[in-house]
A and B are shown apart, each in its own frame.
Chain A
Amino acid sequence: MRALDFDYMFGLVPILLSYVPLTLGMAAVSMVMALVLASLMAVVRVVNVPVLDGFTRFFISFFRGTPLLVQLFLFYYGLPQVMSFLTAINGVTAAIMGLTLHFAAYMAESIRAAILGVDRSQWEASMSVGMTTTQMMRRIILPQAARVAAPTLVNYFIDMIKGTSLAFTLGVTELMGATQKEAAGSFLYFEAFIIVALIYWAIVETLTLFQRRLETRLGKAHAR
């Protein structure tokens, strides 16, 4: 056993914290885009839109069926070899693309399940008052599905935050990349990795507080 280098640990905190905005930024942008994409795909699948439904199935199958790291390497290193103009995609963009497409595939399935979970009577009631499918989805079904899907979607967001650590393989020095480099310079692995673990943990705990408030808000109509 050796004594921990606390001075080093405290010194590392502000350095690593300066990478949090990049990490959270990548995750947040990916989350918003993935949410839009996933909702569209879920609706396409539930309503069974011809042609698009087949494409969506294929999309979900591919992005759920291959590891995120493979997808990132494909966008960043692979595609530019075939289409050279794609070299213009920088590491941050490639990471955001990868996270968006990968998590959209998962989230589409969650949202689809949530939509199907909305009681059939709600669909029938909407149709009986003459709503179009789009109106029904937007006003009646999706708001109810959102409540069911919310905890799972927050889970995916947490995964996404942690998934940004793969961006270092694409030359993006984010939170984990910065930690790895600092550890390589100091050889104080425990100190460096425990600090980064605490930072990730703090981020996720903050998010959990937000999740509780979101659930309360979405659940208002169902409060007893």
Chain B
Amino acid sequence: MSNLIRWAPLAVFIALASALTYGLAKPARTNITSKMVGAAVPSFKLAPATSGLPGLSSADLAKGQPHLVNFFASWCGPCIAEAPQLKVLAEAGVPIVGIAVRDRPQTVAAFLARHGNPFRAIGADNASQLQMAMGSSGVPESFVIDGTGTIRLQTIGPINPQDVAGIIAAVRDAR
């Protein structure tokens, strides 16, 4: 039996075990990042999610001004956690628009009354249609959209206090 062949199993195993070692060493990444970053916001038109605020369409996001699009829901716990950060962002002048995912007008209104309203407009995404079109997979998630309607940045999970500065910078860069 030739030398090459009898050592081949060991070589294959070492290659395989290296893959396993990598698998163990890499940080567990369960977030699904959107592949739409860098592309134009898909065309959409959503009805208002609650009374008193307008709905949202893709045309609203391509009028020269950058936006932070925040996917949220009144039934989502972490969305409560990020409410103070959204308030800070709104006070810093970041134009924030909301997408209420699978929500009812009354509960959205109650949520805003309780946790503050940083939004200029909120579209109702009742069957997660826009969420899927944007490549988003949960709430809360946020996207920075530039003035031409191009997606620049995605943040997954609640916006934490340490994320605020980065988002402000991203919005500034998106002008």
Q: Does B bind A?
A: no
Residues in A lying within 8 Å of B, measured CB to CB:
none
